Homo-oligomer: A and B are copies of this chain.
Amino acid sequence: MAKDQTPNAAILVIGDEILSGRTRDSNLHFLAGELTRHGIPVAEARIVADDHDRIVAAVRELAARHTHVFTSGGIGPTHDDITADAVADAFGRRIDVRADARALLEAHYATRGTELNAARLRMARIPDGATLIDNPVSAAPGFTLENVHVMAGVPEVFQAMVAALLPGLRGGAPVLSQTLTLLRGEGDIAAPLSELVRDFPELSIGSYPQFRNGAFQVSIVVRGTEGARIDAAMTRLAARFAEDIA
């Protein structure tokens, strides 16, 4: 697959709770791993507050520059759930309670004897032209509008929506990776690593230092779509630093 045909993605997490430090994100981390395995590399991620204008601006910018945008959060029944309306606005679409989404909620709450009140009915607000994303956990659907996939923030629901959505998206060649951890500082390995980068231009080679027990070590991560090339790079790296492998 030519490089310019490889799909890519942006992730947009919507929620004050991440930006205040109250909650540590898990959806972005989960989805980044899933997309990488599916061959849709993530080029950028953003976290914005529950603010209409910021969501609209981020959706427009990210949708224009990426094959796919995946959002997390802000599609529940409360006052701070404003993502669906913001995504509709970003594309100039009308949004209202839609019959198909309403039917899903009616069926779900009927079996539980729960009232489908005005707040819950807000979760059936779907932009014109969007297709629904199945929510097997709690019925209220996500949706896809243009190249933007709008999903819930609750991790159990988010993960179920990703599982429903991802098989239908065309992935590129899966990205494979191997890691070698060396008991050396990055400064010792930088020069040989640059040679490796030069000799394997088709691979992505990253150097990730960690601080353990008062000393630096470094993990070299080699990623690419051709397993044989990754093997060749790792073999050379392991031979060069045989005495330093963790």
Contact status of A120 and B187, CB under 8 A, knowing A29-B24, A43-B19: yes
Tell me which residues from 40 to 54 in chain A have a Cβ below 8 Å from any Cβ of chain B: 41-50, 54
Contact status of A119 and B190, CB under 8 A, knowing A16-B204, A154-B210, A210-B154: yes
Residues of B within 8 A of A216 (CB): 138, 154
Report yes or no: A18 in contact with B46, Cβ–Cβ below 8 A: no
Considering the chains assembled together, what is the distance between the CA atoms of A138 and B36 in angstroms? 33
A171 interface residue per 8 A CB criterion:
no
Residues of B within 8 A of A181 (CB): none
Tell me which residues from 15 to 48 in chain A have a Cβ below 8 Å from any Cβ of chain B: 16-26, 28-36, 41-48
Most B-side CB within 10 Å, residue of A31, A120, A187, A207: A187
A1 interface residue per 8 A CB criterion:
no
A222 to chain B, nearest CB (A): 12
Contact partner of A21 (CB less than 8 A), chosen from B33, B48, B204, is B33
Question: Number of contacting residues on A, CB 8 A?
Answer: 73
Considering the chains assembled together, what is the distance between the CA atoms of A132 and B77 in angstroms? 47
Contact partner of A114 (CB less than 8 A), chosen from B114, B154, B187, B190, is B187
Residues of B within 8 A of A26 (CB): 24
A160 to chain B, nearest CB (A): 10
Considering the chains assembled together, what is the distance between the CA atoms of A79 and B196 in angstroms? 10
Considering the chains assembled together, what is the distance between the CA atoms of A45 and B58 in angstroms? 11
Contact partner of A190 (CB less than 8 A), chosen from B48, B79, B205, is B79
Report yes or no: A54 in contact with B49, Cβ–Cβ below 8 A: no
Report yes or no: B119 in contact with A223, Cβ–Cβ below 8 A: no
Contact status of A36 and B16, CB under 8 A, knowing A44-B49, A49-B44, A193-B79: no
A244 interface residue per 8 A CB criterion:
no
Report yes or no: B194 in contact with A79, Cβ–Cβ below 8 A: yes
A186 interface residue per 8 A CB criterion:
yes
A216 to chain B, nearest CB (A): 7
Chain A 203-225 near chain B by CB (<8 Å), digits 1 or 0: 01111111100001000010100
Considering the chains assembled together, what is the distance between the CA atoms of A24 and B118 in angstroms? 38
Considering the chains assembled together, what is the distance between the CA atoms of A191 and B118 in angstroms? 8
Report yes or no: B16 in contact with A206, Cβ–Cβ below 8 A: yes
